[in-house]
């Protein structure tokens, strides 16, 4: 860095790295604490960094909060200091900037890593002359290994921020509702692992007017911004929401939400809208995932490899097309060579082995063992990685470890209960284990989050209604599959036809007759509930296929 000057933009980018560590990612309170004190210092408002203002503005204590009677700020400050110290002793060892909160004060300190004396300044931005998307004053020549590491970290995933929504109505009393939407979106988006989300506090300065988006891209490292407007008219609230790319100001997604509102249902409206927005833009089939294929910092080839692999994985699980399997595997293995400790990539490779095992005609114990090893590695690297816990749950399930599978499934959902793909996958898994009520509730929840139903939802409902002996509803869900016939699905369809018509159907029997000797193990690969397996075998017998 030139002259050891620390720009506010560099500080905000370092905050983003800190907030990505598991202990802060999973603590809304501590995240708000850190963002509040950092922004106050950057804005030259150190006199407002006091115990009372932190309690009221960052920790949401009431206006009559008394720090001498309530030690909540001191307690959280101690926790925050410990987490920051632990981060810099492990994952943040090579970060270019150190942020600390010295004991005896709540005012943060900023220091270049490896430099004893640094100052906080806001240098004039210069044109992007190095082709990286960052001003020359911030990243002069990229010859410093710490700078390169920093850029790599930030651009492994696309970076976005939620700008405060504009109130275009005359009722200023609804400001709390409008701010609540933006804050809730920021919190919930941060739990999706395929994006990085800038702190909501750092965007408050853009409330009055939308700044030049290319400036946001350069000064804050943003790839996308989410913003919108709110109007309250005659008992109706209308929200217009837009997702915008910062490099060219293109609106890549927009939606309007219209609700009747009362004083009693505003909170429900807020949750309903945020749930719908989350999966539309950040889910596995969301706008950002679809548009971000192959896009990453030109300084970081590894980032491109990882994004390409993740895109191919989600494209594969959309329909499980066998023609995509090998390319998906190759992409994931290439990504792992670039980033040897990427928990999500290990988890996705585990999923591919699980898919092979479930849909194999043979019993491939070595494949299942490999899947479990990959899942365990993913969990070891990052126990808070939702995809790792999903893979672990499925490995336990297929290995017959019901207790461990249920625990992993519930922990997986708890990490991000608004990720429709994860919730539906765990719902299907619980139904396969015989936990029908709980599994069904998760499937319903995933439908609410994302009406574009993934395969896990369809198969889960089919098995649920099979168990309830509602065979017509079960086959209705089976017929929603537009994909090719996997052996397991073909056998379940034949069993349903047998249950419904109670006679042999030649066209259906012809589809599964070659599976007769393998039917038991094919079904047992996925269905752990003995009663459901017995019902499926009975349906196959009625259809004319007697299995051992």
The string of pLDDT tens digits covering residues 103-144 is 889 999 998 876 444 444 333 323 332 333 333 333 333 333
SS3 5: strand
Q: Spell out the SS3 assignment of 440-487.
A: HHHHHHHHHHCCCCCHHHHHHHHHHHHHCCCHHHHHHHHCCCCCCCCH
Residue 423, pLDDT score: 92
Please state the domain extents for the chain. Answer: 2-123+133-148, 159-291
Inter-CA distances, 171 with 124, 209, 240, 262, Å: 39, 19, 17, 14
The predicted structure's pLDDT at residue 129: 29
pLDDT in tens, 285-331: 778 877 765 454 433 445 677 878 888 888 888 778 888 899 999 99
What whole-number distance in Å separates Cα of residue 422 and Cα of residue 404?
Answer: 17
The SS3 call for residue 211 is: coil
DSSP string over 278-314: HHHHHSTTSHHHHHTTT---TT-HHHHHHHHHHHHHH
Phi, psi of 418 (to 5 degrees): -110, 10
Of 356, 441, 430, the C-alpha closest to 394 is: 430
What integer pLDDT is reported at residue 100 of this predicted model? 92
505-529 confidence digits (pLDDT tens): 666 677 778 788 888 888 888 898 8
C-alpha closest to that of 453 among 315, 316, 285: 285
Check residue 453 and give its pLDDT: 67
Provide the pLDDT for residue 142. Answer: 30
Confidence at residue 460, expressed as pLDDT on a 0 to 100 scale: 92
Question: What's the mean pLDDT in 327-344?
Answer: 89
Give the Cβ contact number of residue 529 at 10 Å. 17
Q: Under DSSP, is residue 132 helix (H, G, I), strand (E, B) or coil?
A: coil
pLDDT at 354 over 80: yes
Domain 159-291 sits in CATH at: 3.40.50.10610
């Amino acid at each position: 860095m030139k002259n050891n000057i620390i720009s506010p933009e560099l500080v905000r980018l370092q905050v983003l790295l800190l907030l990505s560590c598991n202990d802060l990612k999973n603590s809304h309170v501590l995240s708000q604490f850190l963002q509040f004190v950092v922004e106050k210092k950057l804005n030259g408002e150190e006199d407002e960094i006091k115990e009372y203002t932190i309690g009221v503005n960052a920790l949401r204590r009431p206006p009559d909060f008394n720090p001498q009677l309530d030690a909540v700020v001191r307690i959280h400050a101690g926790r925050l200091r410990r987490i920051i110290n632990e981060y810099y002793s492990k994952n943040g060892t090579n970060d270019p900037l150190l942020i600390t909160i010295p004991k005896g004060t709540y005012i943060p300190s900023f220091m270049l890593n490896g430099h004893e004396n640094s100052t906080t300044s806001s240098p004039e931005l210069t044109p992007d002359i190095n082709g990286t998307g960052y001003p020359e004053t911030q990243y002069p020549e990229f010859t410093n290994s710490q700078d390169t590491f920093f850029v790599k970290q930030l651009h492994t995933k696309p970076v976005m921020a939620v700008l405060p929504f504009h109130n275009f109505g005359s009722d200023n009393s609804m400001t709390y509702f409008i701010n609540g939407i933006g804050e809730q979106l920021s919190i919930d988006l941060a739990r999706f692992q395929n994006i990085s989300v800038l702190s909501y506090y750092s965007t408050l300065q853009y409330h009055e007017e939308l700044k030049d988006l290319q400036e946001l891209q350069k000064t804050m490292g943003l790839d996308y911004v989410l913003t919108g407007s709110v109007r309250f008219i005659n008992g109706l609230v209308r929200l217009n929401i837009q997702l915008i790319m910062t490099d060219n100001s293109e609106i890549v997604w927009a939606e309007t939400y219209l609700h009747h509102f009362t004083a009693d249902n505003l909170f429900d409206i807020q949750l309903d809208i945020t749930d719908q927005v989350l999966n539309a833009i950040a889910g596995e089939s969301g706008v950002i995932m679809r548009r971000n294929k192959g896009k990453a910092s030109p300084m970081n080839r590894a980032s491109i490899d990882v994004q390409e692999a993740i895109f191919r994985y989600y494209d594969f699980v959309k329909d499980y097309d066998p023609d995509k399997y090998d390319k998906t595997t190759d992409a994931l293995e290439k990504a792992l060579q670039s980033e040897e400790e990427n928990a999500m990539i290990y988890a996705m490779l585990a999923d591919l082995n699980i898919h092979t095992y479930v849909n194999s005609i043979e019993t491939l114990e070595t494949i299942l063992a490999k899947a479990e090893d990959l899942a365990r590695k993913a969990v070891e690297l990052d126990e808070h990685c939702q995809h790792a816990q999903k893979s672990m749950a499925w490995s336990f399930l297929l290995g017959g470890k019901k207790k461990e599978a249920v625990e992993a499934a519930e922990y997986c959902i708890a990490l991000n209960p608004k990720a429709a793909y994860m919730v539906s996958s765990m719902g299907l898994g619980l139904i396969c284990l015989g936990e029908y009520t709980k599994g069904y509730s998760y499937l319903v929840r995933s439908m609410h989050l994302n009406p574009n139903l993934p395969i896990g939802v369809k198969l889960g409902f089919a098995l649920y209604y099979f168990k309830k002996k509602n065979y017509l509803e079960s086959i209705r869900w089976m017929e929603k599959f537009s994909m090719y016939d996997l052996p397991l699905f073909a056998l379940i369809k034949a069993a349903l036809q047998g249950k419904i018509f109670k006679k042999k159907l030649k066209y259906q029997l012809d589809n599964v007759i070659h599976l007769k000797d393998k039917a038991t193990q094919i079904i047992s690969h996925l269905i752990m509930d003995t009663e459901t397996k017995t019902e499926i075998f009975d349906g196959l017998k009625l259809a004319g296929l007697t299995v051992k």
